[in-house]
Chain A
Amino acid sequence: MRVVGIETEYGIVDPDEPRANPILLSSRLVAACRGWAGRTARWDYGGEDPLQDQRGFRRSRLGATPDLLTDAPEFDEAAGHVTLRRRRGSWEDPAHLNAVLPNGARFYVDHAHPEYSGPEVTNALDAVIWDRAGDAIALAAAARYAADEDSRVELYKNNVDGKGASYGTHENFLVDRATPFDDLARRLTSHLVTRQVFAGAGRVGLGQFGEAPGFQMSQRADYIEAEVGLETTLRRPIVNTRDEPHATRDRYRRLHVILGDANLFDVATYLKIGTTSLVLTAIEAEDERLDTLELAAPVEAVQAVSRDLGLRARLPLVSGEDATALQIQRALLEICRTYARDAGDAAVIARWEAVLERLSTDVFSAAREVEWVAKLQLMGRMRARHASTTLPDGLPWDDARLAAMDVQWSRLGDGLAQRLAVAGAVERLASDAEVARAVSGAPQDTRARLRGGIVAARPELVDAAGWSTVVLDRETDHGHLEVVHLDEPLAAAHPLLDALIDG
């Protein structure tokens, strides 16, 4: 069990007005999402006012009184960690750019994109379910937008526009703070580089601007330019160093993975999260077998793997040997067998092994599970439809029809990936009913249960909510906002919030 979450930035277009301002479209979409959801909360930016936070203090019991403001009572486990915060005078409310939803997610404007940050979950299957819930929520918001405005938006779950821009799908993994960051980065890199073989979404065009014709496994590979770093928008690193745990800092790190693709295939999302989580467990256990897989040139390897559709390129290792991406993945699989702790982990291992086997025997036998393979297969058939004596290979890779298909692949609602799924050509791990429940309800085994639960049950009491806070605005005699601290992501119960949720 490991706390994980996925953030998706969607591409956004007004098909009738392609030059429309994307920031405006995105903020209107978030407003539409708030209207659709009915019950939402603002985002807690409280941490951005250190004076207010310094004035807060731990409260010892539920019925705090004003005299406690100058006091410093002992923290009371039974009451949970609650501090007081001064009410704002008037503040520029960025709430219209944010919605905290009853399923514990955040839907908001990030730069020039709508973003869904899924709630914290504890396993790969739940990650799939709440990721697809995000797609459903974004679609519902777009439908509301079309009803409210005299225009419409289309949303795309991809990562590139083919003209140089890239936007992210980020994964977050809670890891043990005791693991030194250098070890974490060094030992995780070969997995992040080679997992593309099952996690890539496929892309038409090579280079950041798609300047060379061709097809590659990954949307993001050409935008990864460093091994380790803090940036997410330029010189993007394989391992991001942002240290913002949104949890108890001395216990946890939040590993922020930015090189992955947005996935529309359940198995791709499932393996992306499930295998990375298991490799992290091996790293936390200081398994030195991982060191034999260290890549000599990881940044170059990201692109080499992405372009290696035959899955036979040999990557140089620090040891002086070399290995293919599939060989590295098989070695990681063997190491991770040791760390499968429950049925969920065992299912990840079994799927991981099966997909690697299919990829190594006949790539196209993985087309129901691996997104880039399905995309390549569909494109191959489209190319072949146009084969002639002058074009024996069919459409060339720089034909606009293939570039258009690549974009249309990822359109929410009626995209080509969705059409393939409807035709029965994509394996689903989660049912539509499970996804529908995750649209309106939060995971029950993390603090997302409290965040989503209070937004669903008592939105009128919630001033704002964040990953590790719920700010209550209640009629109390001390006259302050109450900041409920949720620093332990696995703590799915809280005395004060549960009392309010249960009414």
Chain B
Amino acid sequence: MAQLNAQGQPYEDDAPEPDAPVAAAQASTDAIDDLLAEIDGSLQVNAEQFVRSFVQKGGE
């Protein structure tokens, strides 16, 4: 399975290293940075418990 670098771009074993599509700077970068900081703060504490408690039954 392809590994991903920090930008999410896969490294491929059988292909030349792709031109990294660097996450383009967005107009709303500051807002996204604030959001990431907020997520980081909340997940530092309870990420594992949150993931564990999200249990659904199959549907359809």
From 372 to 425 in chain A, residues with beta carbon under 8 angstroms from any chain B beta carbon are 376-385, 387, 393-394, 397, 399-401, 403-405, 407-408, 416, 419-420, 423-425
A83 at interface by CB-CB < 8 Å? no
Binary interface encoding of chain A residues 1-39 relative to chain B, with 1 for a CB under 8 A from any of its CBs, else 0: 000000001011101001000100000000000000000
Number of interface residues of A (CB under 8 A): 67
Q: Hey, which chain A residues are within 8 Å of B50, CB to CB?
A: 400, 404, 407-408
B15: min CB distance to chain A, Å: 6
Binary interface encoding of chain B residues 10-34 relative to chain A, with 1 for a CB under 8 A from any of its CBs, else 0: 1010010010011110111001100
Contact A424 B21 (CB under 8 A): no
8 new A-B contacts at CB < 8 Å, known A307-B2, A376-B8, A425-B32: A111-B59, A111-B60, A163-B56, A167-B56, A380-B4, A381-B32, A393-B3, A423-B32
Can you list 30 A-B pairs with a CB-CB distance of less than 8 A? A18-B55, A111-B59, A111-B60, A112-B58, A113-B56, A162-B54, A166-B58, A166-B59, A167-B56, A167-B57, A307-B1, A309-B2, A309-B9, A312-B18, A364-B23, A367-B23, A367-B26, A377-B8, A381-B23, A384-B6, A387-B6, A394-B6, A397-B4, A400-B47, A401-B47, A403-B47, A423-B32, A424-B28, A424-B31, A425-B32
Contact A112 B56 (CB under 8 A): yes
B50: min CB distance to chain A, Å: 5
| Complex Cα gap A110–B58 (Å) | 10
Contact A110 B60 (CB under 8 A): yes
| Complex Cα gap A364–B6 (Å) | 13
| Complex Cα gap A401–B51 (Å) | 8
- A407's nearest neighbour on chain B, judged by CB, is B54
| Complex Cα gap A403–B22 (Å) | 23
Contact B40 A382 (CB under 8 A): yes
Contact B47 A381 (CB under 8 A): no
Contact of A9 among B21, B39, B53, B60 (CB under 8 A): B60
Q: Hey, which chain B residues are within 8 Å of A22, CB to CB?
A: 56-57
B29: min CB distance to chain A, Å: 9
Q: Hey, which chain B residues are within 8 Å of A97, CB to CB?
A: none
